[in-house]
Structure 1
Amino acid sequence: MHATVASLLLSAATAAFALDTATIVSSALSRDCLDYRVVGVCYWLNCGRSGCSVRTSVKVRHYVPGAVVSSYSNTGENPWLEVRAMSMPNPTAKAGGDGTTNHGNENNLAKFKNADVVGHPAGMVFRQFASTSGYTCEGAGTAFMPYLLSTLDTLAWRYNVPEMAYPEALVPGLREIGTRTGLNLWGNVYPRGGFLHQTDDHKSGAVVAQRAGDIVTRRNQLHVYQPLLANARDGYWPAGALMETDASTGKWQELTPTLSNSCVVFPHSRTRVQARQGDYAWALWRPYSCCRRRGQVFLGSVDFM
């Protein structure tokens, strides 16, 4: 029943021209992206008047849509309409778009993308959907919270300071999305700014989205941002740092220019639709594990093979 409803909602949303909050909320009804699994057992020490006993609870793992990551060429034109006003041009971040020499026969491959990371709006709708599979884990994201707006991160985003001097930005093969030997290299994660050289605009948008996701899933980065992270506690294991090509740290659901009902990592071999105005958006899904508290003291957990 839920799969049918999700399919109908996604089909209707795909036909819409603009990316709005209702479309994003309906996109969260994805079994593929949720990927709900029972992964182990938790042990709790429960003590009462009659003594102490060890109780168990099921340990589950699933993905949560934590944020919408928009990657777009024209400053002030985030494809998610309701949050567009968050990242309008300012005195330090006015223009956008690709590099040009104004010659008709040019072959200038320089691309520039703004990026916004904003809390996914699904909230209660997603929690109700996920709870049909069983016990659910809380994500780190807060709906509509701006975690990174590249228009406020000018020095790092537009000038690559200081990351242009990092080893990851200087040494080929470090922190890259894809590989040269595999003939699927989409781009480099560092420096984590808006400029890159890539002939395929869709790939450019994906690389910049990965860079933005990389920043917000780490603490103490030299960027203007808020970490999109939760703290571990007894019976709760939140997602850690996002790593490119590693689905166990996070995966992406395309929202525009096409709306997908499944998640991938970059690079991938699926059909890529080029956005007319260079604006793309993905939902970033992150893995969380948790178990129900059944005692005062957490004794540990055992994962299944």
Structure 2
Amino acid sequence: MNRLFVQLPMALAFAVLFGLASMVSSPRAYAITTPEILQSSLSPQCLDYQVIGVCAWLYCTPWGCTVRTSIRVKHYIPELVVSAYENTGDNPWTEIAMLSPPTGDAIGGGSSRESVPEQHTNTHFKNVDAIGHPSELFYNFAGGFGWFCESNSKPFNPYFISTLDALAWRSGVPEMAYPEALTPGMREMGEVGDLWSPIYPRSGFVSQTHDYKVAATAAQRAADVVTRRGEPHVYQPLIARNSSSSGIWGPDPVEEGDSETHEWQQLAPNMRMSCSTFPDGGENDQLQDPGDYAWTLWRPYRCCKKRGQELLYFTGE
């Protein structure tokens, strides 16, 4: 089966984003604002800046060739703000909450809660939006450590809006028939004795009693989609920069529990200045109602300054 994706029209997306954002008149409970998101990116722990080696470049002129070197660094970059929220149109990121109003087949939200505990019919649904992180302040911050890497993420760009992906996000079609969805133990988030949820099918419905785990699973699923090409969803892929000739090595697509592909920073309802992968302990102190959450997705990059026409070799992990 071909896994095709449909790109969001860029110009239309930006027009909708900034046009509707201007209509927001009042903050919501548990909301987070753009200035707060900018401030949250000033986290040395999430940045995790390291000098890991050197790069050797061949630099040639009409008068001959020499070898130049530059340091090789590794650090994380905030690429996306991923919101998972209860009711359609209620994104906790204040300035973009009007970007995904109820429309067409994406009207309702919420969850089905069991009236009798023995029925075990707790099925929760989360809308999810993945928006490019407003990262300008972060890059100024990273520059204070020395040479730094950059990603392809575009600030405020809507990479995934679940209301525009209503068929796949609300039905699980066609992923409910994938091997990952049918094979126990395959692509699951959590640990033995504390299984949060399978990643597939990557939809907004999660069979889980704990609302924070529901939201985290939905956010993880959206990040899984966005960082890959050719998925059967309506989205724009965010593919990591990866070019050794330019001296930059980006991460692989997001994989649950793998800090070599990503980490999460809690933004709402309570901001943290640290990052980790799920499970992250947030279920102990972040549970709230109506169930609106937001995280920053950080991803690790390695890079060195290009100082010649050809990269001869590099050291470090």
Q: Is the 8 A contact 2:30 2:292 kept in 1?
A: no
Equivalent residue runs for 1:10-89 within 5 Å:
17-89=30-102
Q: 1:249 & 1:259 partners in 2: Cα distance?
A: 22
Alignment pair present for 1:201 and 2:199: no
Look up the match of 2:165.
153
User: How has the CA–CA distance of structure 1 residues 104 and 272 changed in structure 2, closer, same or farther, with 3 Å as cutoff?
Assistant: same
TM-score (norm 2): 0.86
Deviation at 1:216, TM superposition (A): 0.3
Q: 1:50 & 1:38 partners in 2: Cα distance?
A: 33
Q: 1:177 & 1:141 partners in 2: Cα distance?
A: 25
Deviation at 1:193, TM superposition (A): 0.2
Task: Please report the RMSD computed on the Cα atoms of aligned residues, expressed in angstroms.
Answer: 1.6
Query: What SS does structure 1 have at the residue aligned with 2:35?
Result: helix
Look up the match of 1:275.
288
User: Which one of the candidate residues 111, 132, 136 is aligned to 2:148?
Assistant: 136
Q: 1:188 & 1:17 partners in 2: Cα distance?
A: 27
Query: What SS does structure 1 have at the residue aligned with 2:315?
Result: strand
Deviation at 1:302, TM superposition (A): 1.9
Alignment pair present for 1:116 and 2:129: yes
Q: 2:86 & 2:211 partners in 1: Cα distance?
A: 10
Alignment pair present for 1:210 and 2:210: no
Alignment pair present for 1:221 and 2:231: yes
- Identity score, percent: 49
Q: Is the 8 A contact 2:83 2:294 kept in 1?
A: yes
Query: What SS does structure 2 have at the residue aligned with 1:88?
Result: coil
Q: 2:113 & 2:193 partners in 1: Cα distance?
A: 27
Letter aligned with residue 224 of structure 1: V
Query: What SS does structure 2 have at the residue aligned with 1:91?
Result: coil
Q: Is the 8 A contact 2:190 2:196 kept in 1?
A: yes
Deviation at 1:17, TM superposition (A): 4.6
Look up the match of 1:5.
none
Cα deviation per residue 1:12-54 (whole Å; 9 max; x = unaligned)? xxxx952111111100000000000111211110012431011
Q: Is the 8 A contact 1:202 1:272 kept in 2?
A: no
Q: Report the count of equivalent residues.
A: 285
TM-score (norm 1): 0.90
For structure 2, the 5+ residue unaligned runs are: 1-28
Deviation at 1:275, TM superposition (A): 2.3
